[in-house]
Chain A
Amino acid sequence: MLIGFDTLVFYTFAVITVLAGLSVITARNPVHAALFLVLAFCSAAGVWILLEAEFLAITLVLVYVGAVMVLFLFVVMMLDINIEKLREGFWRWFPFGGVLAAIMVGQMIWVLGSRQTSETGAQVLKHSASYSNTKELGRLIYVDYVYPFELAAVLLLVAIVAAIALTLRRRKSVKSQDPAKQVLVQKSDRIRIVSGVGKHGTE
């Protein structure tokens, strides 16, 4: 065999990821673009599993594919996007975008090509089957870096509260139902037996 099974799997996933990524920006239909993004996420998760980062890989699928992209698709499907209008500004903004892209490529080459990262990347650690990536991550997050992690969590919480507070604006002119009140309604709240034959009115 010329190449190992791992390498074969890696290249398969890598090629799919890159092609899907390209399709995301070239697809004419925004729904197709979103679906290609899903494919890119899934194959990226495959690459991560090869790196023994199964927790991160599954979380990527769970959070991004299972939840975020669903909401994304949700929005994209509902929008009536005029593609022609979107394409109009392409050449006008091309120089700006091009510069931005060039900077990003430069940064990536700088980071990935530097001696330090390339050396550690040369020999990937292989662990035994009992190695749990999840446990390692948990130890890092909740023991070694607990304060930065908690800080990030609080930051996110603040963001969530802010986002919800922004939507907590009720227009007075609009009538709305409160399902919580509706489901709590009992028979006695709505019905009053005015007269009846028996003791309880219904016999």
Chain B
Amino acid sequence: MMELLQYLENLLGSAWLPIWTLVKILVIVVPIMLTVAYLTLAERKVIGYMQVRIGPNRVGYFGLLQPLADGLKLLLKEIIIPSGSNKFLFVSAPILALTPALAAWAVVPFSDGMVLANLNAGLLYILAMTSLGVYGIIIAGWASNSKYAFLGSLRSAAQIVSYEIPMGFALVCVLMVSQSMNLGDIVLGQKSDVGLFGWYFIPLFPMFVVYFISGVAETNRSPFDMAEGESEIVAGFHVEYSGMAFALFFLAEYANMILIAILTAIMFLGGWLPPFDIAPFNLLPGIFWLLAKTSFILFLFLWFRATFPRYRYDQLMRLGWKVFIPLTLVWVVVIGAWMQTPYWLW
């Protein structure tokens, strides 16, 4: 394997680096796309089970081909561009929504050293990328020239901007504790002799909860899905979209969900570290643990959707500004003070 890589490197010369990077990008993006597809199936199955039904089970055994059937259907449908819309922005909005959702994966470490770009300011990069995702939604709402789409995009913009702040403060706590903005170093900082008790979710438990709930709000997922609000503003920002353009929004939403889940796993649940550093646990490869934790958090996303009714908009804003932001601000100070005492064990 290594010899083959070496041979190719010599063969391609200076073109090697771009090609090799492209291959690595594909190795990350293709599984994400497949995960997104199967996450939609998992969502329908989990919510179905919680509502005492079975969920899709007709296309393929256990409904396993359902995502492919859905994808094919969306691929073959016509993309209708409303006559009063701004065509260029209308078409570019789904791309603007999906690109940052995928670009953020560049700095996500899957295992020790398994990362596309080992950025020193990885945490900031993630924050910047997730905050860019809102443009796709705003532009989609405005370019559609439809009142529902516009209302949805305004709601979503206000929501994402306000929940970014508690999210940022939660991350400030993480980087205070880990003394690093490199995601790989953050995971390594959680390595200890006591296994899962060394992970950051214990000292930062309120931040863990705040980060996750803000993540749910940031991805416009239920119970914070006012941007879509299918029962009040029909489907929010993507009401005018059909076919593949709609599918891109869908992909972006789910890719963002997976991103939030994997980031929560990395920053609070020890990333690729096994829960106990003893025989049966540490024999499994690190990526298995990371994916297991990510899946659990994704399951929580779906569980939330099956359980909670949608927030009202003013309640949502209150939660963001009057509960989460003060809470995170206080906890930053608490952590800062705690770290100066000898009782800091992490």
Contacts and interface: CB of A to CB of B under 8 A. Distances in A.
Contacts of B128: 58, 61-62, 65-66
Nearest to B175: A134
Interface stretch (B131-139, B251-259, B265-273, B334-342): B131-139
Interface in B60-117: 89
Interface residues of B, number: 28
A26 B312 CA distance: 40
Q: Which one of A31, A62, A134 has the greatest number of beta carbons of chain B within 10 Å? A: A62
Interface string B148-168: 001000100110110010000
B315 A179 contact: yes
A62 B142 CA distance: 22
A134 B138 contact: no
B134 A66 contact: yes
Interface in A171-188: 177, 179-180, 182-183
Contacts of B318: 179-180, 183
Contact of A58 (B121, B135, B139, B312): B121
A133 B119 CA distance: 12
Contacts of A54: 119-121
Contacts of B150: 77
Interface in A43-59: 54-55, 58-59
Nearest to A67: B161
A24 to B, nearest CB: 16
Nearest to B318: A179
Interface footprint category on A:
20 to 34
A35 interface: yes
Interface string B120-147: 1100110110011011001100100000
Interface stretch (A12-20, A68-76, A115-123, A147-155): A68-76
A31 B303 CA distance: 39
A182 B318 CA distance: 11
A107 interface: no
Max chain B Cβ within 10 angstroms of own Cβ: one of A73, A78, A133: A73
Contacts of B260: none
Nearest to B181: A134
Interface string A74-87: 10011000000000
A73 B138 contact: yes
Contacts of A134: 120-121, 124, 181
B24 interface: no
Given A58-B125, A77-B142, A66 B132 contact: yes
Nearest to A29: B86
Nearest to A77: B142
B310 interface: no
Given A70-B157, A132-B120, A65 B314 contact: no
Interface in B293-327: 312, 314-315, 318, 322
Contacts of B181: 134
A28 B39 CA distance: 43
A65 B130 CA distance: 11
A38 B135 contact: yes
Contacts of A38: 135
A73 B131 contact: no
Across chains A and B, which 6 residue pairs bring their CB atoms closest together, nearest first?
A66-B131, A61-B128, A62-B128, A58-B124, A179-B315, A179-B318
Interface of B: 89, 119-121, 124-125, 127-128, 131-132, 134-135, 138-139, 142, 150, 154, 157-158, 160-161, 164, 181, 312, 314-315, 318, 322
10 contacts: A54-B120, A58-B124, A58-B128, A66-B131, A66-B134, A66-B161, A71-B161, A73-B157, A74-B154, A179-B314
Given A66-B131, A74-B157, 17 more contacts: A54-B121, A58-B125, A61-B131, A65-B132, A66-B127, A66-B128, A66-B164, A67-B131, A67-B161, A67-B164, A77-B138, A132-B120, A133-B121, A134-B121, A179-B312, A183-B315, A183-B318
